[in-house]
């Protein structure tokens, strides 16, 4: 990675001095995503379990396996459109079709609406005859936490686990109390704790931040499918990944974590600009390919 690469990313994600309204944040995220040329070869809008989704694939992807993807954005912003290129890159790297999910967002639809949507889509895939051993779950930031919430919900409902889950800088603790909130406060150019807590309030509503489906870090993680976690060393939420890996390992889960030097939150989204983003996507793709073989 060159210094110019990471500086270009920092310029793109510079934090405004004042917190914009949610509508403006959503529009800004859509605009930033639209600045990159589309990498999607094929896409098809569908509805599964009553939830808007989109199949994303290219001519080389397998049809028998699925990458079920949940986008990030603090449960308040983001969409299939903002993450379409990243999802397409992961689908290509893994060699399987991706199914992107437009789950409901807060504050209009607070917790547990997103979890309900995730479970509904997964259940619909199973009802349509999809083999769970050929389904990989993945997500970035809030989407990583939602991936874990789906797996926990599936376990409690007696549904089969997916083959695996790949988590990109997952947000796993709504309490914002990890050690990295102290040690990475000056290193992270993207996230500020006070603003993160605003998103927590919008998402959690009247629920508790200790609810394991909102904060999967606090859950009993036993019985979950194998996990791959990729995070950046320069992100405020680093402890959400490292603490998750420790708790998952203690619970007997097959878990692998990699922390990338100097990288920011969900650096994979900037793969056209950052070498490490492309390398991470390739490693995640290999993990999914192996686990869904």
Provide the 3-class DSSP secondary structure of residue 65. Answer: strand
The residue with greater pLDDT, 101 or 5, is 101
Task: Give the largest Cα separation in the chain, rounded.
Answer: 50
> For residue range 138-156, what is the model confidence (pLDDT) as tens digits?
999 999 999 999 999 999 9
Q: Are strands 96-101 and 51-57 parallel, antiparallel or unpaired?
A: antiparallel
Reported in sequence order, the residue ranges of the chain that DSSP labels E, i.e. its strands, are 42-48, 51-57, 62-70, 96-101, 135-140, 164-168, 227-232, 255-260
- Report residue 43's pLDDT band, with 50, 70 and 90 as the boundaries: very high
Exposure on the CB side of residue 95, measured as CA atoms within 13 A = 11
> Which residues are catalytic, by number?
141, 235, 265
CB 243 within 8 A of CB 215: no
Q: What pTM does this model have?
A: 0.96
pLDDT bracket for residue 18 (50, 70, 90): confident
> What is the reported pLDDT for 59?
95
User: Which pLDDT score is estimated for 1?
Assistant: 55
Say what the pLDDT of residue 64 is: 97
């Amino acid at each position: 990675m060159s210094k110019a690469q990471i500086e270009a990313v920092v310029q793109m994600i510079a934090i405004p001095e004042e917190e914009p309204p949610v509508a403006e944040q959503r529009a800004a995220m859509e605009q930033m995503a639209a600045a990159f040329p589309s990498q999607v070869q094929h896409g098809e809008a569908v509805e599964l379990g009553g939830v808007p989704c989109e199949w994303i694939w290219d001519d080389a992807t397998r049809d028998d396996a699925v990458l079920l993807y949940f986008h990030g954005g603090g449960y308040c912003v983001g969409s299939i459109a903002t993450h379409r290129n990243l999802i397409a890159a992961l689908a290509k790297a893994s060699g399987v079709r991706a199914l992107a999910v437009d789950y409901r967002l807060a504050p209009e639809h607070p917790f547990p609406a997103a979890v309900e949507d995730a479970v509904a889509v997964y259940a619909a895939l199973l009802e349509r005859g999809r083999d769970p051993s050929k389904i990989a779950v993945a997500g970035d930031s809030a989407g990583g936490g939602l991936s874990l919430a789906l797996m926990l919900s599936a376990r409690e409902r007696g549904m089969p686990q997916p083959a695996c889950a790949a988590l990109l800088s997952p947000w796993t603790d709504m309490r914002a109390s990890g050690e990295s909130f102290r040690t990475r406060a000056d290193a992270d150019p993207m996230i500020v704790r006070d603003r993160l807590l605003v998103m927590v309030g919008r998402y959690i509503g009247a629920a508790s931040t200790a609810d394991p489906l909102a904060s999967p870090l606090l859950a009993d993680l036993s019985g979950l499918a194998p996990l791959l976690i990729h995070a950046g060393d320069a992100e405020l939420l680093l402890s959400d990944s490292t603490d998750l890996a420790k708790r998952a390992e203690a619970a007997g889960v097959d878990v692998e974590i990699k922390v990338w030097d100097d990288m920011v939150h969900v650096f994979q989204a900037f793969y056209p600009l950052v070498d490490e983003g492309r390398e991470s996507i390739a490693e995640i793709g290999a993990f999914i390919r192996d686990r869904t073989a």
